[in-house]
């Protein structure tokens, strides 16, 4: 592990075109559970699996139940950015890192100071009325009970990509652009099983693919550097 961290440190020092691609594991050290760790949401017992509750069909049919789970498990306003979020923001300020591409919906990269953040799955912090399209902040969800409603009577929904819904094509295109031009691509805190997001890493054509994860992924054998550890701890040590 020490050798891998030294190599990563050298690559970071030398590069001015680093791109980071991450997922829920980036925020577990901030206290937000991921889906697939042993203490993640898949191991907790609900009437339905998270991916059913967080689907378009479920939202349309049972918005009350959706919002009960969503407020309880997906909205984490007290969570603070951790060492991984802060380190990535620092590299951007130093002109080394060009973009953070995230599957997360918690807004913690921006809170840490990152500016170029491509949110593949949207953000819990943005919401809008399904009827009149009026945008609202997170308070529309946190300060209400049951299904939040707009003044016009429409249902307010989160600006997040639910299962069965398509990703924003401009965010995908921009992500492809950054990944395909990257010198160093760091992939961290993601099981790489949620598509199409996970497929974006295939656009990387360089020789410095770094994988930092607590568990195994299908990319392990392709990575030039594979660090099995907690991403906040690893990035602080670089």
Residue closer to ligand NAD by CB (options 130, 193) is: 193
The pairs formed by 174-178 with CB atoms below 8 angstroms and a separation of 24 or more are 174/99, 174/118, 175/21, 175/99, 175/101, 175/118, 175/120, 175/200, 176/200, 176/203, 178/19, 178/98, 178/99, 178/101, 178/118
Stretch that binds ligand NAD, among 4-12, 23-31, 61-69, 126-134 (CB under 6 A): 23-31
State which of residues 15, 86, 91, 103 lies at the interface with ligand NAD (CB under 6 A).
103
Residue closer to ligand NAD by CB (options 34, 150) is: 34
180 near 98, Cβ under 8 Å?
no
87 near 81, Cβ under 8 Å?
no
* Residues with catalytic function: 121
List all residues 6 or more positions away from 54 whose beta carbon is below 8 Å from its beta carbon: 66, 69, 70, 74, 162, 163
23 in contact with ligand NAD (CB under 6 A) = yes
Site string for ligand NAD, 163-202 (x = CB under 6 A): -------------------------xxxx-xx--------
Residue closer to ligand NAD by CB (options 127, 213) is: 213
Stretch that binds ligand NAD, among 9-17, 57-65, 168-176, 207-215 (CB under 6 A): 207-215
In angstroms, the CA 89 to CA 112 distance is 6
DSSP symbols for 48-86: S-HHHHTBHHHHHH-HHHHHHHIIIII--TT----HHHH
81 in contact with ligand NAD (CB under 6 A) = no
How many chain residues are in contact with ligand NAD, going by CB under 6 A?
29
Residue closer to ligand NAD by CB (options 16, 202) is: 202
Q: Which residues bind ligand NAD (CB under 6 A)?
A: 23-25, 27-29, 32, 34-37, 40, 103-106, 121, 188-191, 193-194, 212-215, 230-231
């Amino acid at each position: 592990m020490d050798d891998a961290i030294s190599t990563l440190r050298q690559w970071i020092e030398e590069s001015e075109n680093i791109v980071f691609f991450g997922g829920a594991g980036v925020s577990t050290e901030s206290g937000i559970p991921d889906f697939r760790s042993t203490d993640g949401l898949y191991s907790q017992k609900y009437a339905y699996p998270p991916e059913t509750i967080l689907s378009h069909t479920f939202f349309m049919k049972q918005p009350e139940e959706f919002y009960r789970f969503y407020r309880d498990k997906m909205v984490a306003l007290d969570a603070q950015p951790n060492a991984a979020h802060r380190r990535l923001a620092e590299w951007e300020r130093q002109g080394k890192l060009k973009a953070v591409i995230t599957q997360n919906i918690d807004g913690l990269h921006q809170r840490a100071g990152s500016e170029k953040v491509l949110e593949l799955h949207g953000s819990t912090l943005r919401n809008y009325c399904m009827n009149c399209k009026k945008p609202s902040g997170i308070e529309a969800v946190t300060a209400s009970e049951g299904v939040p409603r707009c003044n016009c009577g429409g249902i307010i929904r989160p600006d997040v990509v639910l299962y069965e819904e398509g990703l924003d094509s401009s965010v995908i295109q921009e992500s492809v652009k950054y990944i395909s031009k990257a010198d160093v691509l760091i992939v961290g805190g993601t099981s790489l099983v949620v598509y199409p997001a996970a497929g974006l890493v295939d656009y990387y054509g360089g020789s410095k693919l770094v994988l930092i994860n607590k568990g195994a992924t299908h990319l392990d054998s392709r990575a030039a550097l594979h660090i099995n550890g907690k991403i906040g701890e690893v990035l602080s040590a670089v």
